Amino acid sequence: MQRIRIAVFVLSGWGFLGLQGCAPEVPATPLLGKALPYSHVQTAGPTQTTAADFNVVAYPNPFRYSITINTNTAGPGQLQVSDAQGAFSQRVELQGGQEEVRFDFTDFPSGTYWCEVKSGNQVTRMALLCTQ
């Protein structure tokens, strides 16, 4: 298991906080022997969204060191980031509603990565371009 700290953006900037409902341990599949670090914050619960609200936004894209992926899903799902060859992947379990996941690519090579979000019968896939 890979231990993570949850990063939360507040008015004064990014800070590390413990949050209820966030798993303290997250499984990781290594790329080049490393796990892709990330932080995950749920900003609104699933009761506030419907299937018609399914939305995924990744910014900035292209990115240099980190990318933020905002999701809005009606229910639980998965967000998966993988390299272009499918040789590695990092999966994040989504609870549903509005969520923000920030990935840190500082120790990873430039190139194209793929982001796939699944929730119920809805799926979206997009390319993420790392330009270090």
In a domain, 104, yes or no: yes
> 73: part of which helix (H) or strand (E)?
strand 66-73
CB atoms within 10 A of CB 48: 13
Q: pTM for the complete prediction?
A: 0.68
Farthest-apart Cα atoms in the chain, separation: 39
In a domain, 5, yes or no: no
What is the band of 15 on the pLDDT scale with cuts at 50, 70, 90? very low
pLDDT at site 30: 45
What is the band of 27 on the pLDDT scale with cuts at 50, 70, 90? very low
In a domain, 102, yes or no: yes
Looking at residue 88, which CATH number applies to its domain? 2.60.40.1930
> What is the domain count for the chain?
1
The range of the structural domain enclosing residue 91 comes to 27-130
